[in-house]
Chain A
Amino acid sequence: MALFPITSNFEGDFVLQLVAVDTENTMDEVAAAAAHHSVGRRVRARPGQILRVRRQGAAEFFPRTMKLGEAGLKPTETVEIIWEAPKH
C-alpha cells in the first residue's frame, strides 16, 4: 500500500486535478476518487452510466478490477475518466 498521486482528466470537466489514490485501489475506486472532485461540482452525474479509466490517449480502458499499482503509471501521470453507458 502506498499513496499515489494521479492527475485526473474527467470527461466533461474543464481542468486537470490532482487526486490522491492508493496503489491498492482498483480502477473503479480510482474513478470514484476522481469523480469526487468533479461530479456534482461542475459535471452532472449520469445515472445508469459507469466510469472507466484509461491512460491519456489510449483506446482501451484499464480493467475495472485492476489495481492501480499494476497499471504501470508514473506518479502524477494523467488518466482520463470516461463515462460508459451500460452494454445491452
Chain B
Amino acid sequence: MAVLNRMDWYDLARTTNWSPTYVTEDELFPPLMSGAFGLPQDAWEKYDEPYKQTYPEYVKVQRDKDAGAYSVKAALERSRIFENADPGWKSVMKAHYGAIARGEYAAASAEARMMRFSKAPGMRNMSTLGCLDEIRHGQMQLYFPHEHVAKDRQMDWAFKAYDTNEWGMIAARHFFDDIMMTRDAISVSIMLTFSFETGFTNMQFLGLAADAAEAGDHTFANLISSIQTDESRHAQIGGPALKVLIENGQKAEAQKRVDIAVWGAWKLFSVLTGPIMDYYTPLEHRKQSFKEFMEEWIVAQFERALTDMGLDLPWYWDIFLKDIAETHHGMHMGSYFWRPTVWWNPAAGVSPDERAWLEEKYPGWNDTWGQCWDVIIDNVVDGNMAMAYPETLPYVCNMCQLPILGTPGKQWNVKDYPLEYNGRLYHFGSEVDRWCFQQEPERYAGHMSIVDRFLAGMIQPMDLGGALAYMNLAPGECGDDAHNYAWAEVYRAMRTAKKAG
C-alpha cells in the first residue's frame, strides 16, 4: 500500500483544536496553566513548528540513539576509565549528574504542561516528543552513573542531589522551579526551551562533550552528545510561540520572560560549567576557555536567535558580556573554599602552568583572583589547613541563591545590591538579579535563602556540622581537594629552591 509522504498529511493530522461546546474555552485551557496571553485558539493555530516529526519517525530515531549510547557504555564498562580518570574529571561527572539528572525528570513535567495546556496544536505535538526526550535523559543520566556508585559514594548524588538542601541544589531548584515548574505552558516554552535550552544546554552538552572526548571518556561524551540531539529539536518549541506573541502585540511580556530566564541560566552555568571548563578539566584536555565557549555558543548564537525572532538583546547585555570573563572565577573560588559543602571534590586548578593558562585567557587573573589564591596556596604549602577552610557562610543572593561575589585583589569591585521589600532586607548579587526580583516580587519574596534559613535558626547546631547535616552531606560525601593537594608540591619545591638559592 502506498504511504503518503509525511508533509502531505502532517499539518492536517496535528490540527487537533476544536470548538468546545460542553465547556468554555477557559475551562478547557485554564489561563493560569495555558498562559494564552488573552489570545484565542485561532491565534495559536498559526503556531508553526520549524522541526516537524511524526511519532513513528521519533521512535525510530530515538531507538537508534539509545542503541548507540548504551552500546558504547557496554563496550567500555571494563575499560576502567573511571578508575584511571584524573580526579578533576571525576568531579566534572559528579557535578554534572547531580545538577542535571533529576532536573530532566522535572523538565518532563514542564513539557507535559505544554503538551496538555498549550492552545497551539503544533506545540502540543512537539512537546509530546519533548516530554519523552526528558524522560529518556533522566533515565540515562541516572543509569550511566549508577555503575560507579559502589566505587564512590559521591556518585550517589546523581540521584540524591535534587532532594537535598545543599546550597547549589537550592539554587538549581529555585531557577528551574521559576522557569519551568511554576509557569504556564507558553511561558515554559519561552523560558525553558527558547531561553535556556537554545543556548545554554549547547554549552553544557556540546562543550562538555568535546572536553569528555579529549579526556578519553567516550561513554560520557556519547551520552551527552546523544542528549544534545534531542535538545536541539525540542529547544525549537519556544521560537514559534514568541512569533505568535510578537505578532499579537505581546512583545514586552515575551521579552521580559526571555530576559529573566537568560540571566538565571547564566548564573547557574557560571557556577556549574565555568569551574568545570577552566579549572577541573585537566589542562591538556581543555579545548577552549569557558569565556571562549560562551562567546561562541551563547553570545553569537543567542544574539542571532533573538534578532531573527524580532526581539531585542536583554537590557543587561553589556553587563553580561563583562561578567562572562569574571563571575565564574569567583564561583570556582567559592565552591573550592567552601568545598565540604559540595558533593564533588573541586580541583583547585591553580598550578603554575594552569595559572599561566588562566592569565593568557583572562589577562589580569594573577592580579585579581590570583591574589586570593596566593594566600590559599601559602596556607596549603605551610600545612596551615585551618585557614584554608571557612568559618562562616558566604552571603547568597535572594534571586539566584548563589554567593554574592565580584572581582578581588587589585580590581576589587565586590558589591551588594540590596532592596527593602515589605520590611525585609533582601540582598542581590547584581543589578540584574535585583531587577528580576522586582518584576514580580510576590513570586519570590517568601523564599528563604540558605543564609535566611541559618539566621532563622533552621540550621542547628549553628556550625559547619549543623550546616552539613542540613545539606544532607553525610561523611564520605563532603567535598575536598580533588587531588589531595598534590598540586601544591610544585609550590613547595619552588619555595625550597628559592631558599636554597
Q: Which residues of A contact B (CB under 8 A)?
A: 5, 7, 9, 11-20, 36-37, 40-44, 56, 74-78
* Those 6 A-B pairs whose CB atoms lie nearest each other, nearest first: A14-B408, A16-B395, A78-B416, A42-B372, A15-B405, A16-B404
Given known pairs A9-B415, A42-B372, A44-B374, the reply for A76 and B455 (CB within 8 Å) is yes
Minimum CB distance partner of A44 in chain B:
B375
CB–CB B393/A17 < 8 A: yes
Q: Within 8 Å of chain A (Cβ to Cβ): is B175? A: no
Given known pairs A37-B390, A42-B372, A76-B425, the reply for A13 and B408 (CB within 8 Å) is yes
Given known pairs A14-B372, A18-B395, A41-B376, the reply for A78 and B334 (CB within 8 Å) is no
Return B295 CB to nearest CB of chain A, in Å.
Answer: 23
A42 and B418 alpha carbons, distance in the complex (Å): 25
Q: 8 Å CB contacts to A: which residues of B375-389?
A: 375-376, 379, 387-388
Contact indicator per residue, chain B 137-168, by CB within 8 Å of chain A (1) or not (0):
00000000000000000000000000000000
- Chain B contacts for A19, CB-based, 8 A: 392
A56 and B403 alpha carbons, distance in the complex (Å): 17
CB–CB B454/A18 < 8 A: yes
Given known pairs A56-B415, A74-B425, the reply for A17 and B395 (CB within 8 Å) is yes
Q: Within 8 Å of chain A (Cβ to Cβ): is B369? A: yes
Among A9, A14, A18, the one with the most B-chain Cβ atoms within 10 Å of its Cβ is A14
A44 and B387 alpha carbons, distance in the complex (Å): 12
Q: Within 8 Å of chain A (Cβ to Cβ): is B130? A: no
Contact indicator per residue, chain B 412-453, by CB within 8 Å of chain A (1) or not (0):
101110100000010100000000000000000000000100
Q: Within 8 Å of chain A (Cβ to Cβ): is B409? A: yes
- Chain A contacts for B395, CB-based, 8 A: 7, 15-18, 76, 78
Return A17 CB to nearest CB of chain B, in Å.
Answer: 5
A17 and B376 alpha carbons, distance in the complex (Å): 17
A18 and B452 alpha carbons, distance in the complex (Å): 11
Q: Within 8 Å of chain A (Cβ to Cβ): is B394? A: yes
Return A3 CB to nearest CB of chain B, in Å.
Answer: 10
A9 and B413 alpha carbons, distance in the complex (Å): 10
List 30 interface pairs A-B (beta carbons < 8 Å), by A numbering: A7-B395, A11-B412, A12-B371, A12-B409, A13-B414, A14-B330, A14-B372, A14-B407, A15-B403, A15-B404, A15-B405, A16-B403, A16-B416, A16-B427, A18-B395, A18-B451, A36-B391, A37-B390, A40-B375, A40-B379, A40-B387, A41-B375, A42-B376, A56-B415, A56-B416, A76-B395, A76-B455, A78-B416, A78-B418, A78-B427
